[in-house]
Structure 1
Amino acid sequence: MRVFGGRRWRRASAAGLVTMAVAALLPAATGPAAAAGGAGVPARYTEQRLSWHACDGKPSLECATMTVPRDWHHPADGPDLGVSVSRHRAADPAARRGVLMMAAGGPGAQGLLRPADFAEDSPAVAAAYDIVSFNQRGLPLSTPLTCQTRTEFDAFFGDDARDRSPAAVRGVVRRSRQLARACQERSGGLAPYITTDQTVRDMDLFRTLLGARRIAYYGPSYATMIGAYYATEFPHRVDRLVLDSPVGFAGTWQAFEEGQPLSFQRRFEQDFLPWLAARDTSYHYGRTAAEAKEKWEARRRVLRAHPADLGNGRRVTPNVLDNGAVNAMYNARRFAPLATALAALDHWDTATPAERGTARKVFGDYLSPAFLAEFAAVTCNDTPWSRDMDDWVRRTADYTRTYPLAGARALAFTATCAAWPASHAPRVHVTGKGLPPTLMLASRRDPAAHYEGALGAHRALRGSRLVTVGGGDHGQYRNGNPCVDSLVDRYLLTGAAPARDTTCPAPGTTG
């Protein structure tokens, strides 16, 4: 199939890509030379002292900036980077058992201030651990990766990703290529070094500077890949490992993202639309899931011709409608705000101030230029991608027809990685070798970290125990689920993992 006026795009098959295993690099010995790669690390990194101060807006946290090399594999080359770090000291120093490190998901979310909420929600864990986290390299407050202006970012998502006309498809690919090129040209040489492998080496330096021989770790979503890579490269540094809603770290980013259109559509059709139909008296969107879906599609068609003006400088286009829904699929607690916003669009002239406020929040900013820069760099650098653009156009057209909620936007992301320069990041093959029993949490209809990918990650991480949760929320721990919380707390506090894989009901259900 030829596209774009007969031009052929450069092809490369992903099938024959050569991979290499990354060995666990550290012996059991501790000390500065053991950090993040061994004796070759210059002393200016391993002997630095963190200057702690109160974090802005979070008085329970201390913050500092850690200096790291741009490239851990060649630490003498290139300028240094700054990585912002934080800690919440154990509430009971006498009972303190060590350090619990966290990371944020995305890629692109910020983790610096998360220990404060974690400690508040999990006081027993906060009594026993110093809870620490960081903003990954490339993010704000650390050395940032700059790719787009706000105007370029807004244009990246366009108005209607379902438009598959030749002109629209050319526009998507052009903007994706611009993003890939801008990340290289505007980053001062940083873009190739925004990888999960580099991040886990930053983590190990942080561990050393904290004086911890080993760490416990908790990570949700993409942070499960960070944790799995860390545990693979530094298994002797891992005491306990909790991976919550795991992405498919056993394979490639391409394989994982190919599964997301289905999982977001599944969550939308099997959970949200039935929920919405059961509340027709409140939201008037139809008495059956089929009726609710039909009205959704009708609303979307109207927005394509006549975007809704929210009165705050924001318009609801078809993509904005989809993005608001995608964001709501992550947690069932977001269903009601989405439904309120949908109903408000139907009677905007008579909507109450509260309804309008909810709509403006639901259909407000989606992601950010900083998030998208980090997301693109990590996903495009970490693992290989096919560069066969003709094939991507065909496949994403199928996603758009079959799984339109998230499938329509797939071309923008795949085209970015297809245009990204070849990466030299090492392939990390997760095995679980040398690790204690680890704990994994996954829900059956998770939209973002699909259950199929979680099962593959579970098989790859030998010795892991999988807790399968009913429902479809993304992020299981501290999500109002006593079954999950008790298992995780017990594991972190005593080291006792379930003897075998087990299940928990969805939050708010029994049995």
Structure 2
Amino acid sequence: MPNPSRPRAAALAVSAALLSASLAACSSDAKDDVDLPSQALSWKDCPAPSASEGGGDAPSPLPGGAEWQCATMKAPLNWDDPEGDTIDLALIRARASGDEDQRIGSLIFNFGGPGGSGVTTLPAFGSDYAKLRTRYDLVSFDPRGVGRSAGVECEDDEQLDEYFEQDSTPDDAEEQKKLVDNITSFNKACDKNSGTVLPHVRTTDAARDMDLMRQVLGDDKLHYFGISYGTELGGVYAHLFPKNVGRAVFDGVVDPTQDPEQGSLGQAKGFQLALDNYAKDCTSKTEDCPIGDTPAEVKAKIAKLLKELDDKPIPGIFPRDLTQTAATNGIAQSLYSQDFWEYLTEGLQQAYDDDGKILMLLSDSMNGRNEDGRYSNIQAANVSINCADDKPRYTTEDVEAKLPEFREASPLFGDYLAWGMLGCTNWAVDGTADHPDVSASGSAPILVVGNTGDPATPYEGARKMVDALGDGVGVELTYKGQGHGAYDSDSTCVHSAVNDYLLDGTVPKEGTVCT
């Protein structure tokens, strides 16, 4: 079962490409510079993505012919012992397209997850950042535990097919026990296959990697674009290295004040809001909505479908069946972007006719499964990083006590997200804190972009991030739209504000609202 307690923007990014083809705590006294031997990166043509990164072909050149280049950076396995064992971190870049005397430096991207491969995601959407490439080298990476950066391995592909089909919303004690047993088996497999790296995949470790990356890339300041979980990573970096922050943008903002339970409850509300908006959109069009005449009927029919799937799955992608869990996961995936709403409509129409292919394809995209049946390690890394970060460990009794509140927040997603809090059951490594510390006194301004219709990182989190960063650091920009994040929308207002800040250092007026 996917761990839904953290958003996955990178999963969305990879999914967009797949669907297009298929359907048509450390303290803030950290040193500003790490004391490690210098290293020079050897940039070469990029290979095809590894299976753990999702597979596929080597990245195609950008419009205009610019080639993607890849390199490997060494970092300490254990940042408390920087002279000990090292791991390799995979990097990718596209050189700045403008004049060298106008080049600012490197702009480092993290697309979220945690668990998303930046090495595969950046080239998939690199053309969207053409304006930013006029003055920056575009750079991304596989964070530790992800893809080719000491990627965490848990269960194999066959086991994962079964794992993601399980009943993740148990109705009785027997089903609860089976769910806990399955999660425990998955987590023990992670420890067996990747026990060496599991204690060292915390967000604080990744933040220290980014500061080393800044130095190796030759930049005095870290210029950064964080999306979804990438905003949490950016906030932790700013906390640890406030004097090293350059121009930074946080988009699709994680609420840094919430513990995992509060984060899951917030997502229940966020996905319910997105479903409400989808149902209103479908039924307000001039033609008939094919899955209901009113928003209430659309949601009632979806709820009825999920209940029926709990009792009797329908054929999905042979030889697998579409279960209640897979359908719920697929519906959630489709709500990450308004561009996916048409796939949800088509998928629901099919499911009502006992054909679960599209909803299963959406679920597979969320889980990192490609058409060949191979899984990336996005979910293994997601669980590993969350469980290394998050101190709370929840029990079935905890979940049962909270179910009424989750169900009130979302009749459709409440159970799914509540039971997802069991993801760290019997994890081999203790978590660090209830929530990340992002206080960053002394940092340069950070542009924090919140989307009022965001399902995965609800809009309220943007203000919470601004407040937590501290006075004079966070600058809030609001986008009144749908989907996860704002820069990937069609809003020229958002694009202009972000581009003006990153390219020219122009900070928008606090409280600016875009549509």
Normalised by the size of structure 1, how large is the TM-score?
Answer: 0.84
Question: Does 2:496 align with 1:489?
Answer: no
Unaligned runs of 5+ in 2: 1-24, 48-57, 62-66, 369-374
Q: Which residue of 2 aligns with 1:500?
A: 510
CA distance in 1, matches of 2:152, 2:177: 26
Q: Which residue of 1 aligns with 2:27?
A: 22
Question: Does 2:172 align with 1:165?
Answer: yes
Q: Which residue of 2 aligns with 1:51?
A: 42
Q: Which residue of 1 aligns with 2:50?
A: none
After TM superposition, what 4+ stretches of structure 1 lie above 6 angstroms from structure 2? none
Fraction of identical pairs, as percent: 27
CA distance in 1, matches of 2:409, 2:251: 28
Aligned counterpart in structure 2 of residue 241 of structure 1, from 245, 248, 263: 248
Does the Cα contact within 8 Å between 1:162 and 1:400 map onto a contact in 2?
no
SS in 2 for 1:172: helix
Q: Which residue of 1 aligns with 2:474?
A: 464
Q: Give me the CA root mean square deviation.
A: 2.5
Question: Does 2:278 align with 1:272?
Answer: yes
CA distance in 2, matches of 1:424, 1:170: 23
Equivalent residues in 2 for 1:266-415 (5 A)? 266-269=273-276, 271-279=277-285, 281-310=287-316, 312-347=318-353, 358=358, 361-368=361-368, 370-396=377-403, 398-400=405-407, 403-415=410-422
Aligned-pair distance for 1:344? 2.3
The 3 A distance-change label for structure 1 pair 454 and 417 is farther
CA distance in 1, matches of 2:411, 2:450: 24
Instruction: Report the more deviating stretch, 480-489 or 257-266.
Output: 257-266
SS in 2 for 1:74: coil
Instruction: Report the more deviating stretch, 407-416 or 106-115.
Output: 407-416
Aligned counterpart in structure 2 of residue 431 of structure 1, from 423, 439, 443: 439
Q: Which residue of 1 aligns with 2:201?
A: 194
CA distance in 1, matches of 2:81, 2:186: 27
Q: Which residue of 1 aligns with 2:150?
A: 143
Unaligned runs of 5+ in 1: 1-19, 28-33, 350-355, 506-511
CA distance in 2, matches of 1:366, 1:316: 14
1:232-288 deviation digits (Å, cap 9, x = unpaired): 11122211110001112234344323321222122212x011122235945422211
Q: Which residue of 2 aligns with 1:454?
A: 462
Aligned-pair distance for 1:434? 1.1
SS in 2 for 1:291: helix
CA distance in 2, matches of 1:273, 1:159: 27
How many residues align? The count is: 464
The 3 A distance-change label for structure 1 pair 347 and 116 is same
CA distance in 2, matches of 1:187, 1:384: 20
Aligned-pair distance for 1:105? 0.4
1:30-70 deviation digits (Å, cap 9, x = unpaired): xxxx33xxx3x3x2xxx222221111322421101111111
Equivalent residues in 2 for 1:43-82 (5 A)? 43=37, 47-56=38-47, 57-58=58-59, 59=61, 60-77=67-84, 79-82=85-88
CA distance in 1, matches of 2:121, 2:480: 26
Q: Which residue of 2 aligns with 1:209?
A: 216
Does the Cα contact within 8 Å between 1:217 and 1:242 map onto a contact in 2?
yes
The 3 A distance-change label for structure 1 pair 396 and 66 is farther
The 3 A distance-change label for structure 1 pair 63 and 430 is same
Does the Cα contact within 8 Å between 1:71 and 1:193 map onto a contact in 2?
yes
SS in 1 for 2:513: strand
Question: Does 2:122 align with 1:112?
Answer: no
The 3 A distance-change label for structure 1 pair 203 and 148 is same
SS in 1 for 2:69: strand
CA distance in 2, matches of 1:23, 1:114: 31
SS in 2 for 1:471: strand
- The residue type equivalent to 1:430 in the other structure is V
Q: Which residue of 2 aligns with 1:478?
A: 488
Aligned-pair distance for 1:139? 1.4
Q: Decide which structure has the larger Cα Rg and report it.
A: 1
The 3 A distance-change label for structure 1 pair 121 and 387 is closer
Aligned-pair distance for 1:303? 2.6
CA distance in 1, matches of 2:331, 2:220: 44
- The residue type equivalent to 1:448 in the other structure is A
Question: Does 2:233 align with 1:226?
Answer: yes
Aligned-pair distance for 1:392? 2.4
Does the Cα contact within 8 Å between 1:314 and 1:364 map onto a contact in 2?
no
1:465-501 deviation digits (Å, cap 9, x = unpaired): 1111113311111321111001000000111112312
The 3 A distance-change label for structure 1 pair 153 and 405 is farther
